[in-house]
Amino acid sequence: MATKNYHVMVFPWLAFGHMLPFLELSKKLAAKGTRVSFVSTPKNLQRLPPVHSSLGDKIKMLEIPLPSVDGLPVNCEATVDLQPEEIQYLKKAYDKLALPFEELLLENLPDLILIDFAPFWIPEIAAKYGVSTAFFSVYTASTLAYLGPPVELKNGTLRTRPEHFVHPPPWFNFHSLVAHRPDYAPTMMRNTHCPDASGVPSGQRIAKIVEGCKFVVVRSCNEFEEKYINLIEELYQRPVLPIGILPPAPETGTQPQTDSGWSYIFRWLNKQKSKSVVFVGFGSEYKMPIKQIHELACALELSEQPFLWILRKPEGVEYQEVLPTGFLSRVSNQGIVSLGWAPQQDILAHPSIGGCLFHSGWGTIIEALSFGHRLVLIPMVADQGLNAKLLVEKEIGHEVPRNEDGSFCKDIVANSIRLVMNTEEGEKLRLRTAQVQKIFSNHRVHDSYIDQFIQHIKRLEFQKGNEK
């Protein structure tokens, strides 16, 4: 598509919920002729899914070794390797990459660097060599809008107490439900405005990046979040480009149904009624405490709804202790629990799956809505609570009511599952998600956003050429 062979460098934060969307965008750009340099640490590059051989000459993986710092366990290069309280030390090590990144940049000068929320030091480095930068947000547009303009991210003058975070912010000029639960508001305020071991709060990181970038790229689309995208543009005083939702391309050549490790699960799914099974999964990042696992197990049993639960075993817990005593035998005719990794796309594509019970991570929302599934939401951390409120606002998800301390109880979760899967209200959700599926599964629409992004790079380079 491009007459010039444009070169984009990407540098995601060290979390797989960030690296994978950056890789997906890299693949889509490479498929259209753009060269991509994907920068990350050695262990993370090894753990990423392989890039198809047809794109191999367009995507170059560049290693940047992670320095050791006190508090960061050895060989831990991503958030998935860490407990929540250790992530601040990963940020501290990440900030020590400024000098090696500059050396890497000199060897591989791109036309544009796409950066995540964390490396606030890159725009200044890039400017020294005449390289443009753009902020690529893997978060929803509504999350960015909720976080606010750079001046608020830096100073926090309009939201000075946790209770200010439980309502839509004052700069929202339209009706919105996007806000945090009261139990999570103090954490949100602390993460945004209080320095951690790295010395730089997340709010300041985002503000400095927005102020230093030429434009902002958001993993969303006008068809789903237009009013929030327009609001970010006002708040940031920068062009904001939706890049589409980056739906993962359907896997080719994989047949998990016949794989020895998964054949029994797909045989079980094949026996279930159409749209009857609830897929339950909280991702690889969230480390669910054993007490919550037991409460959730009891909720699934009480719901009497068929389920497939992909469960990550907590560290330090014996296998026989992960689930309540006798649970597996009691639900043997109702559902399946699988410990470890799962081919989530293949499962969600199965005709017997009808709903999802999960944490409201944006990546899983995209996958679930691409198949039109009903959504039962138990947000846990970070932006998940804001995503859940967005889905409730759009009447395509049901958020499980919580106790005052943020915990959930089995009876309410079971009632929520039954409500979504077996009632008239649930049927309304199904009809709404079916409408949204037409947006999320439309690869042509999302592909057009990639074209618009490339055209924007062209205009940017043309302007730079005229300024010289």
Are the CB atoms for 65 and 42 separated by under 8 Å? Answer: yes
pTM for the model stands at: 0.89
| 344 contacts 371 by C-beta, under 8 angstroms | no
CB 152 within 8 Å of CB 237: no
Q: Are 432 and 391 in contact (CB under 8 A)?
A: no
Q: What is residue 2's predicted lDDT score, i.e. its pLDDT?
A: 41
Spatial separation of the C-alpha atoms in residues 215 and 233, rounded to whole Å: 9
Residue 25: pLDDT band (50, 70, 90) is very high
Residue 109 has pLDDT above 60, yes or no: yes
CA 118, CA 97: separation in Å to the nearest integer? 12
Collapse the DSSP code of 35 into the 3-class scheme (helix H, G, I; strand E, B; otherwise coil) and give the result. Answer: strand
Lowest-pLDDT range, 213-222, 338-347, 396-405?
338-347
Q: What is the mean pLDDT of residues 254-274?
A: 70
Partners of 112 in the beta sheet?
8, 132
pLDDT digits (tens, 9 = 90+) for 449-467: 999 998 888 887 766 665 6
pLDDT in tens, 183-209: 898 888 888 888 888 888 899 999 999
CB count within 10 Å of CB 112 equals 22
Asked if residue 142 lies in contact with residue 135, where contact means CB atoms within 8 angstroms, the answer is: no
Nearest 5°: the CA angle 51, 33, 116 is 65
When mean pLDDT is compared across 8-22, 378-392, 416-430, 450-464, the lowest value belongs to 450-464
Confidence at 287, pLDDT banded by 50, 70, 90: confident
Give the dihedral of Cα atoms 244, 443, 370, 313; nearest 10 deg.
-70
d(CA 345, CA 354) in angstroms, rounded, equals 14
Give the chain's domains with CATH numbers: 7-248+442-467 (3.40.50.2000), 260-441 (3.40.50.2000)
